[in-house]
Chains A and B, each alone.
Chain A
Amino acid sequence: MKPEKALIFELSQPGRVAYSLPECDVPDIEPASVIPQSMLRETPASLPEVYEVDVIRHYTELSRRNFGIDNGFYPLGSCTMKYNPKINEDVARLPGFAKIHPYQPEESIQGALELLYTLQNDLAALSGMDQVTLQPAAGAHGEWSGLMLIRAYHESRGEKRTKVIVPDSSHGTNPASATVAGYETVTIPSNARGLVDLDQLRAAVGSDTAALMLTNPNTLGLFEQQIEEIAQIIHDAGGLLYYDGANSNAIMGITRPGDMGFDVVHLNLHKTMSTPHGGGGPGAGPVGVKSRLIPFLPKPVVGRREDGTYYWDTDRPDSIGRVKAYYGNFGILVRAYTYIRTYGPEGLRQVSENAVLNANYMLKRLAPHFEVPYPGVCKHEFVLSGKRLKEYGVRTLDVAKRLLDFGYHPPTVYFPLNVEECIMIEPTETESKETLDAFIDTMIQIAREAESDPQLVLNAPYTTIVKRLDEATAARKPVLNCSC
């Protein structure tokens, strides 16, 4: 068993350095001669004193205590943990992308602007929208930006609408974003088939409805077949339709939110477009809109002149303003652009087809061993319920922990909230049939273990560098940094 890993602070030995700075070739003026003493630091920050080998070994060891897609299968539902292509990493590090400044003269960043302009158009075409802003830094940031656009649209028409409707299966960020955008959330229960209940929807809409937020396919992996009626109900009430693009990996080239009746869309480039999650970020959450919302887009957007040069279009008097400093997560946008061009239109459609077939194959093979709350065809992901195992005292969390012993990242668990003991699986298109089969066999084995030897599952994991951690104490008596 591996010992506890020291903190970098615990490696410190006074006198060691890991840096190499240029000689200071200008006069050594005393700080106090130009800055009042009262503004100068009295005690230096107590940062560790280590040398370069310490730094490399420390972080290399930390990386070995972490699990990424390159380590193995990562079927985390709704997160689209597909392979992160290496070429994307290489090109994002080219000096002409990594070493440019947001305030450089436009004429000195024409290559970057061309890339952004093309990406704006490609994402608009892919989602069936008329214009795209690349500024939002993440999905939740896109949601909030999109809702602010919706708010600006209603206000421009002299309407004060106060409510945003979300299904009970929605991502938690949907209602949270609505609150930050100044809206009250109305949650409507799904019907027995896991879809939007049209009667509930009709009862909830009114002249105060600003928008309905929807993922399609939804978080259960089901396509909202009545999307046109849903759109009609919302539009008849004067509301707008917001598309949460978390599940776009199911539909590329097959159907488009714009064609389904959505007015505002965000796409998660760190999901659908393969940009790495980075252990929690950075991502990118571009927002697309239909033409009637274009005037309100955050500024600037990238424009193209007739002579073929590109520019920042800042002359947008009705814009909601900025949502992020500079121009969004450019380094991520470079990766997404590369991904789209690696596949092209036919390739992206193939991606979605394979993702959906992989999910249906897994669902079919797992169905006899777990409860399937919503049988039938799924899209890119599906949900199972682990409630049958409760009679042996085993819960979904325990199944997830047992999977760790077999070298898998577990699926998403306990989401969506409307499925008891939920297990949400999204294989993505970049996994082979052998990988899927091996995972399925493991899930079946764990279900059997739960029946025959529940303690084996309840005490899992056995092979990880730490066992189950005491989260209750962590929250009750927080230790949030090493100097506490």
Chain B
Amino acid sequence: MKHRYLPMTDRDRAEMLATVGVNSVEELFADIPASVRYNGVLPISPALDEPGMLKHMRRLSDRNADSDRFTSFLGAGIYDHHIPVVIQHVISRSEFYTAYTPYQPEISQGELQAIFEFQSYICELTGMKVANASMYDGATALAEAAALAHGATKRNKIVISRTVHPEAREIVRTTARGLDLEVVEVGFRNGVTDLQQLENAVDDQTAAVLVQTPNFFGCLEDIRAIEPLIHAQKGLLVMSVNPMSLGLLESPGKLGADVVVGDAQPLGIPTSLGGPTCGFFAVSEPLMRRIPGRIVGQTTDRDGKRGYVLTLQAREQHIRREKATSNICSNQALLALCASVYMSVMGKSGMQEVSLQNMRKAHYAASQFPAGSQAFSAPFFNEFVVKLPANADVKAVNAKLLEAGYIGGYDLGVHYPELKGHMLVAVTERRTKKEIEEFVREWEACAV
């Protein structure tokens, strides 16, 4: 068959077979026993030509409600932020996106420097000493943080707040099963971790406390109160943070975190049904050689010229095999590049301004809802919880909102039975005052 990606002509094939010394391609598969050969045509989707493919994909795409056509107030870990136009142009450079992991540093200096800058950005933003080249996403990064804490403290108990993203908690539990760790969940009061319960849960067998701030409800955790509880027991403080909030909120490094993770999606990465995104992972200096994943370091070449290489590889699976600190052998380089370009574009003042706008617009939105509908009074960033009028169902309200052109907030009852009838509303810098006001009016109309 002729195909636009396949260069082999009949003549090429004949010449190559002659060189190999066989009569047919079939002979090259003679070592596969007949009993396991597949004879026939695989029952998979048929081929489409290029125009047909484009048409088919547009048809599938058009059946989804995207956040350009619909006004979104949905967050819960994935946010509808403005993506600066230059990002798509940079990540569409095929020298970046068609490259493998930079194993040959001499011809990969561009990617290596980009990762070195990403690590630098994450350190600046989080106030931590060391960051890696990125992880699959924020949730798996949190699970890796639990594994790191277990390795560093030789303790088996992980204490995690129920205000941490429910899916991240599920992944922590799945991971903990593999490593035989005990996971203890701590409840919440007024939208933030219950400090009394936390204090009771932490003991001298606790490897780490895992908290998220802004937490899943959008509320800000009182890290200055949590930090001494875990450090008094010589365990680690693991913080999961929204990087967008760090333009406004105190850096985790200043608050005493030992490990800081999060998802870089708010920094210029499309929502894309939740993936691919990019997890980040930063640690204090003593934990440097325990950090999972790829790390880029600066060095010099034979002429003394500055250059970059993958480093601290003695931690990694291709050398340590079963004794590696993690099985991860990749990063989310292209998405880390999105985040780096985002932070380059926003710069010092832009990161502060966008963070401030998120906070202000969310607070304005919260003020527009009927008095008493906000579920918690704890301080929040760009997301907050509203209680629907009695007996209103979030799913049904969202279906009506969709018809009116809105993507409504997250149904908290899915993961928190006690928060049935509560909606998590996210407001980013993309929302206008008018959109906010119209949404709240529509919400009120749908909720009765």
Contact = CB atoms under 8 A, between A and B. Distances in A.
Contacts of A409: 100, 104, 107
A36 interface: yes
A31 B361 CA distance: 12
Interface stretch (B173-181, B203-211, B385-393): B173-181
A466 interface: yes
A205 interface: no
A255 B60 contact: no
A154 B263 CA distance: 34
A439 interface: no
A379 to B, nearest CB: 8
Q: What interface size band does chain A fall in? A: 35 or more
B275 A103 contact: no
Contact of A356 (B29, B117, B276): B29
B137 A276 contact: no
A9 B117 contact: yes
Given A56-B86, A180-B327, A474-B311, 18 more contacts: A18-B346, A21-B353, A87-B53, A101-B67, A102-B273, A107-B402, A114-B63, A138-B330, A175-B317, A176-B329, A276-B334, A320-B174, A328-B275, A330-B273, A357-B13, A467-B303, A481-B120, A483-B123
Interface string A89-104: 1110111111111111
A479 B270 contact: no
B319 to A, nearest CB: 7
Contacts of B69: 95
Q: Would you list the 5 A-B pairs with minimal beta carbon distance, nearest first?
A: A326-B274, A344-B47, A96-B61, A111-B63, A278-B334
Contacts of A334: 57
Nearest to A122: B44
Given A181-B178, A433-B7, A101 B78 contact: yes
B232 interface: no
Contacts, number: 700
A321 interface: yes
B104 A404 contact: yes
Given A173-B327, A330-B274, A279 B249 contact: no
Contacts of A461: 106
Contact of A95 (B68, B125, B147): B68
B246 A45 contact: yes
Contacts of B333: 278-281
Nearest to B165: A325
Interface in B1-41: 1, 3, 5-8, 12-13, 15-17, 19-22, 25, 27-33, 35-38, 41
B58 A94 contact: yes
B139 to A, nearest CB: 4
A148 B117 contact: no
Contacts of A292: none
B66 A96 contact: yes
A49 B347 contact: yes
A180 B175 contact: yes
B324 interface: yes
B226 interface: no
A47 B348 contact: yes
A116 to B, nearest CB: 9
A182 interface: yes
B371 interface: no
B111 A4 contact: no
B334 A41 contact: no
A326 B273 contact: yes
Contacts of A242: none
B190 interface: no
Contact of A469 (B41, B96, B105, B331): B105
Interface string A317-355: 000111111111111101000101111111111110110
B7 A415 contact: no
A125 interface: yes
Interface in A147-176: 147-148, 151, 172-173, 175-176
A62 B35 CA distance: 51
B447 to A, nearest CB: 16
26 contacts: A40-B250, A41-B246, A41-B249, A59-B114, A99-B68, A101-B80, A105-B402, A110-B63, A138-B136, A148-B174, A148-B178, A180-B179, A181-B178, A277-B99, A278-B333, A279-B337, A281-B136, A282-B276, A325-B263, A345-B47, A354-B6, A429-B8, A432-B8, A469-B308, A480-B131, A483-B123
Given A96-B64, A330-B275, A260 B36 contact: yes
Contacts of A118: 45
A191 interface: no
A8 interface: yes
Residue picked from A35, A100, A184, A341, most chain B C-beta under 10 Å:
A100
Nearest to A270: B330
A232 to B, nearest CB: 12
Contact of B247 (A44, A260, A280): A44
A406 to B, nearest CB: 11
Given A321-B170, A410-B104, A18 B344 contact: yes
B42 A360 contact: no
Interface string B178-194: 11100000000000000
A335 B319 CA distance: 32
Contacts of A104: 65, 74, 407
B398 interface: yes
A475 B263 CA distance: 27
B95 interface: yes
Contact of A340 (B44, B82, B97, B354): B44
Interface in B367-385: 379
Contact of A466 (B78, B147, B301): B301
A354 B326 CA distance: 36
A266 interface: no
A348 B5 CA distance: 12
B299 A473 contact: yes
B335 interface: yes
Contacts of A321: 170-171, 173-174, 177
